[in-house]
């Protein structure tokens, strides 16, 4: 079974809107979390990370929020663009060498 994430839900948004992608993780001892983007036929690409001593981190157009109380992670994408269409994965540093991934969320951006 999976320790992280939801079973590939889909999210469809209009170009220019904000997107929020959610993820649940299972190990309360996990201390490091990452969001990846994967386009069709390519490997996962690092977007942003956050450590457990933080609850929010911002990048360029992206923000990651961490709620350790309920073991929840979210990725917010501002002003979503067609190029943001992809599958997004969250990952938790489950046990140092064991980075565990969710099944992903497919984001579709409508022009």
Partner 1 sequence: DAGITQSPRHKVTETGTPVTLRCHQTENHRYMYWYRQDPGHGLRLIHYSYGVKDTDKGEVSDGYSVSRSKTEDFLLTLESATSSQTSVYFCAIRPRGLDGELFFGEGSRLTVL
In the complex, the residues that contact partner 1 under the rule CB under 8 A are 2, 4-5, 7-8, 32, 34, 41-46, 49, 89, 91, 93, 96-104
Q: How far is the CB of 8 from partner 1 (least distance, A)?
A: 7
Closest Cα partner for 71 from 28, 102, 104? 28
d(CA 63, CA 13): 17
CB closer to partner 1, 26 vs 111? 26
Closest Cα partner for 85 from 4, 17, 3? 17
Q: How far is the CB of 68 from partner 1 (least distance, A)?
A: 19
d(CA 47, CA 34): 8
Q: How far is the CB of 17 from partner 1 (least distance, A)?
A: 26
CB closer to partner 1, 18 vs 95? 95
Match 């501002």 to its residue by tokens. Answer: 78
């Amino acid at each position: 079974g999976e320790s992280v994430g939801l079973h590939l839900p889909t999210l469809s948004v209009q170009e220019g809107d904000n997107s929020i992608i959610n993820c649940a993780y299972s190990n309360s001892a996990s201390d490091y979390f990452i969001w990846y983007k994967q386009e069709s036929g390519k490997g996962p690409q690092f977007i942003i990370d956050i450590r457990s001593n933080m609850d929010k981190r911002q990048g360029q157009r992206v923000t990651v929020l961490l709620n350790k109380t309920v073991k929840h992670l979210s990725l917010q994408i501002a002003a979503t663009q067609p190029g943001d269409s992809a599958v997004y994965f969250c990952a938790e540093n489950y046990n140092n060498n064991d980075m565990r991934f969710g099944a992903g969320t497919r984001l579709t951006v409508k022009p």
